[in-house]
Chains A and B, each alone.
Chain A
């Protein structure tokens, strides 16, 4: 990691999750900006350029995270996106972004199931941020 702090955008409608990730990522040496939904995230993305995004899937709409992910990739093609979701837990539907084929339609660089262990998230971030 360079001396300059990397900025991570965290988007989730669960304010406790948002707070937990924020304090942990800050302690790990990142600059964190947060948004409580994809609408707020969109507004934030107009003024800031994150080095990476960690976003929830089910927010305003069931697939708000997928839509937001596409938009982030369109605006900042180099910005890695991790989707953190409890969808498997809540609906039984499972998604992954482990293979190229899955990534081709999910568009995210990684998918993590909630509850997310911070070590796991940090590993993904370190792997994806250069």
Chain B
């Protein structure tokens, strides 16, 4: 239960007492923010007194009479506006002319309550104000959290991008200082390690761009009928050289109709990430099974490997940004730490799910479920004809 402070400023005692009485045991549920609100009512007889009370401890809501004995309600409003005090003001007025209403609104009045009003009218106006306050507060908090997450992401990103630069710089220093003698074998190793780190960095930047496109929603999704089986075949083909180099067999198992509404690029990223992980974190002579199946409107992609596997704790954090499981079996394997986070975000665009089952040392199975939903309308023509479709109106 949240308590909002509400100040009533009116020179009529009956009015002040009436409001206090009406709101004393009143509470209101605000489902939008999952919170209920009650009110702590304070009273002021004049505009001067109200300003004093507001300066000492600003209320969230102010019920302000327009016509007061000393300074007027509009003067109070102006003062609040100048001092940038965040109080939601509802003007109480018996005879609001259009001009006063306009002036009051300009000075930041949120709403009007016409005198005389019933307790029900009062409650409904106060409820509206409270809802506005709570939703705005929630929005601020979310924005703040989002900034924090962004900040954290950027600082981790900076660290991750610095690591390969440090490595390559280290190698170049070694070569420049001539401290390794003239062993061509070592020189060769240095060159290949540098290239590996640069390739890793390029992959990370690519993943990062994918991620930004998905999160910003800027990339136009081109939904079409796509056969997931064909896409999987292509992903496997791409990764075959890496797999063959380590004698890892990849097999595709298709079950049922595998066509779905999808963006080809997105489906490709999902399949490539899953199959490439299954090869990367496998053991030499291991195998990868890609299983595609359909259950009603859901299409399931399961990629099973005979790789190094992971513990339950490791699996739990796996789908977050920049998470890479660090242990003796993963050292030497390059990765951006973004691949699975991307897969999860993409799956969510399809109202889908991701999960992993794993046994350390035995292998893992990654399962992605995608919902096959036809797009609402043929997007290109509809958008071209009317950028603001009428169906969006409330």
Q: Using a CB–CB distance below 8 Å, which chain A residues touch chain B?
A: 13-17, 19-20, 23-24, 27-28, 36-37, 40, 90, 115, 117-119
Q: Using a CB–CB distance below 8 Å, which chain B residues touch chain A?
A: 159, 163, 166-167, 169-171, 173-174, 177, 179-181, 183, 186, 189-190, 193, 197, 326, 328, 331-332
- Where chain B touches its partner, the secondary structure class is helix
**Are A20 and B174 closer than 8 Å at their CB atoms?**
yes
User: In the complex the two chains form, what is the Cα distance from A59 to B177 in whole Å?
Assistant: 27
Q: What residue in chain A is nearest B159 (Cβ atoms)? A: A90
**Are B170 and A27 closer than 8 Å at their CB atoms?**
no
**Are B331 and A117 closer than 8 Å at their CB atoms?**
no
Q: Which residues of A sit under 8 angstroms from B181, Cβ to Cβ?
A: 27
Name the one of A23, A36, A37, A40 contacting B174, with C-beta atoms under 8 angstroms. A23
Q: What residue in chain A is nearest B326 (Cβ atoms)? A: A13
User: In the complex the two chains form, what is the Cα distance from A17 to B214 in whole Å?
Assistant: 35
Q: Which residues of A sit under 8 angstroms from B177, Cβ to Cβ?
A: 117-119
- 5 CB-based A-B contacts, threshold 8 Å: A16-B166, A20-B170, A20-B171, A24-B179, A40-B328
User: Are A28 and B179 CB-contacts (below 8 A) given A36-B328, A36-B331?
Assistant: yes
Q: Which residues of A sit under 8 angstroms from B167, Cβ to Cβ?
A: 14, 16-17
User: In the complex the two chains form, what is the Cα distance from A36 to B331 in whole Å?
Assistant: 9
**Are B179 and A16 closer than 8 Å at their CB atoms?**
no
**Are B331 and A15 closer than 8 Å at their CB atoms?**
yes
A31 to B: closest C-beta gap in Å: 15
**Are B173 and A27 closer than 8 Å at their CB atoms?**
no
B185 to A: closest C-beta gap in Å: 10
**Are B331 and A17 closer than 8 Å at their CB atoms?**
no
**Are B179 and A115 closer than 8 Å at their CB atoms?**
no
**Are B180 and A115 closer than 8 Å at their CB atoms?**
no
**Are A16 and B174 closer than 8 Å at their CB atoms?**
no
Q: What residue in chain B is nearest A119 (Cβ atoms)? A: B177
Q: What residue in chain A is nearest B169 (Cβ atoms)? A: A115
**Are A15 and B332 closer than 8 Å at their CB atoms?**
yes
User: In the complex the two chains form, what is the Cα distance from A13 to B177 in whole Å?
Assistant: 24
Q: What residue in chain A is nearest B166 (Cβ atoms)? A: A115
User: In the complex the two chains form, what is the Cα distance from A27 to B169 in whole Å?
Assistant: 19
Shortest 8 CB-CB distances between A and B: which pairs?
A16-B167, A27-B181, A24-B179, A27-B180, A23-B180, A118-B179, A20-B170, A23-B186
Q: Which residues of B sit under 8 angstroms from A115, Cβ to Cβ?
A: 166, 169-170, 173
Q: Which residues of A sit under 8 angstroms from B332, Cβ to Cβ?
A: 15
Q: Which residues of B sit under 8 angstroms from A24, Cβ to Cβ?
A: 174, 179-180
User: In the complex the two chains form, what is the Cα distance from A37 to B186 in whole Å?
Assistant: 23
User: In the complex the two chains form, what is the Cα distance from A1 to B185 in whole Å?
Assistant: 27
User: In the complex the two chains form, what is the Cα distance from A20 to B181 in whole Å?
Assistant: 13
User: In the complex the two chains form, what is the Cα distance from A19 to B189 in whole Å?
Assistant: 10
Q: Which residues of B sit under 8 angstroms from A13, Cβ to Cβ?
A: 326
**Are A16 and B197 closer than 8 Å at their CB atoms?**
yes
B271 to A: closest C-beta gap in Å: 30
Q: Which residues of B sit under 8 angstroms from A37, Cβ to Cβ?
A: 328
User: In the complex the two chains form, what is the Cα distance from A40 to B190 in whole Å?
Assistant: 24
Name the one of B170, B183, B186, B326 contacting A17, with C-beta atoms under 8 angstroms. B170
Supply 18 further A-B pairs (C-beta < 8 A) apart from A16-B167, A23-B186.
A13-B326, A15-B332, A16-B166, A20-B170, A20-B171, A20-B174, A23-B183, A23-B190, A24-B180, A27-B179, A27-B183, A36-B331, A115-B170, A115-B173, A118-B173, A118-B179, A119-B177, A119-B179
**Are B169 and A118 closer than 8 Å at their CB atoms?**
no
Q: Which residues of A sit under 8 angstroms from B179, Cβ to Cβ?
A: 24, 27-28, 118-119
User: In the complex the two chains form, what is the Cα distance from A27 to B190 in whole Å?
Assistant: 14
**Are B171 and A16 closer than 8 Å at their CB atoms?**
yes
User: Are A16 and B193 CB-contacts (below 8 A) given A23-B186, A115-B169?
Assistant: yes
Q: Which residues of A sit under 8 angstroms from B326, Cβ to Cβ?
A: 13
A73 to B: closest C-beta gap in Å: 25
**Are A16 and B328 closer than 8 Å at their CB atoms?**
no
User: In the complex the two chains form, what is the Cα distance from A14 to B177 in whole Å?
Assistant: 21
User: In the complex the two chains form, what is the Cα distance from A16 to B192 in whole Å?
Assistant: 12
Q: Which residues of B sit under 8 angstroms from A119, Cβ to Cβ?
A: 177, 179
**Are B173 and A117 closer than 8 Å at their CB atoms?**
yes
| Residue from B166, B179, B326 with most neighbouring chain A CB atoms (10 Å) | B179
**Are B180 and A19 closer than 8 Å at their CB atoms?**
no
A116 to B: closest C-beta gap in Å: 9
User: In the complex the two chains form, what is the Cα distance from A98 to B179 in whole Å?
Assistant: 26
Q: Which residues of A sit under 8 angstroms from B189, Cβ to Cβ?
A: 19, 23
User: In the complex the two chains form, what is the Cα distance from A39 to B23 in whole Å?
Assistant: 66
User: In the complex the two chains form, what is the Cα distance from A20 to B174 in whole Å?
Assistant: 7
User: In the complex the two chains form, what is the Cα distance from A28 to B174 in whole Å?
Assistant: 13
Q: Which residues of A sit under 8 angstroms from B169, Cβ to Cβ?
A: 115
Q: Which residues of B sit under 8 angstroms from A36, Cβ to Cβ?
A: 328, 331
Q: Which residues of B sit under 8 angstroms from A28, Cβ to Cβ?
A: 179
